[in-house]
Amino acid sequence: MGKETILVVDDDPHIVELAALYLRSEGYRVVSASSGAQALQKVADERPALVVLDLMLPEMDGWEVCRRLRADGMLPIIMLTARTDDVDRIVGLELGADDYVVKPFNPRELVARVRAVLRRAIPARVEPTAPVQAGPLRMDPARREAHLAERPLTLRAKEFDLLLVLSQHQGVVLSREQLLEQVWGFDYYGETRTVDVHIAHLRQQLGGGAVLIETVWGVGYKLVAL
């Protein structure tokens, strides 16, 4: 186990203490913040490997913190929410969060999610594959770049990975479970709805032209280059 720094952001000191206790027991260094502004400052000062971010924060909520962090880079983020409503989780994923945990949570589950997200974040950077061409769509994993004809696509990390997997299997139907396994990792604890949210974003980027992501009802998705 490495000594990565994890930033836990929550205005409930008991939540912070519980998360820190279990994360430290697994060898992580833990720093904390109790507000959105403090969280942004701690990211700048501590350079954490991952942020565990509560949605309901004073002054600046977790959505805004996530939005600002995503504007600056691809620091892995796990959202904490006290609600069970899908809307919170979907909004967090749309902003670019890598995973979410619903409070009250099992601290061992949180540790497992942190470990999984960190493990997934590294291979995407150090194990590039050859460029993939699907009609006018060209993806370069080494450069993390995607172009549709001559137009560059602006994709979040998981959107890029998802489109890459679909491109590598163009014309082949992949189930939501297969996509979760290949893009998010086999031990991902999320729901298959996560795939749907990211597919919707990719369709907006592709624009419904010469490259389509088709839904095969009851099965999954496939990428088709016309």
User: How do residues 65-104 score in pLDDT, each as one tens digit?
Assistant: 988 888 777 789 998 887 666 656 666 666 778 888 888 8
> What distance in Å separates the CA atoms of residue 102 and residue 109, rounded to the nearest whole number?
11
Residue 175 corresponds to which amino acid?
S
Check whether 2 has a pLDDT greater than 60: no
Can you read off the two tokens belonging to residue 80? 């904490």
Rounded to 5°, the CA angle 200-203-207 comes to 145
Give 153's DSSP letter.
P
> What distance in Å separates the CA atoms of residue 21 and residue 115, rounded to the nearest whole number?
15
Give the global pTM: 0.60
> What distance in Å separates the CA atoms of residue 191 and residue 216, rounded to the nearest whole number?
18
Task: Specify the pLDDT at position 56.
Answer: 86
Task: Specify the pLDDT at position 88.
Answer: 62
Can you read off the two tokens belonging to residue 140? 């370069």
> What distance in Å separates the CA atoms of residue 117 and residue 201, rounded to the nearest whole number?
21
Average pLDDT score over residue span 23-50: 93
> What distance in Å separates the CA atoms of residue 112 and residue 81, rounded to the nearest whole number?
17
Task: Specify the pLDDT at position 126.
Answer: 38
Task: Specify the pLDDT at position 197.
Answer: 87
Domains of the chain: 5-121 (3.40.50.2300), 128-225 (1.10.10.10)
Check whether 123 has a pLDDT greater than 50: no
Average pLDDT score over residue span 105-127: 75
Check whether 127 has a pLDDT greater than 50: no
Report the residue count for the chain.
Answer: 226
Beta partners for residue 220, in sequence order: 175, 216
User: How do residues 92-103 score in pLDDT, each as one tens digit?
Assistant: 666 778 888 888
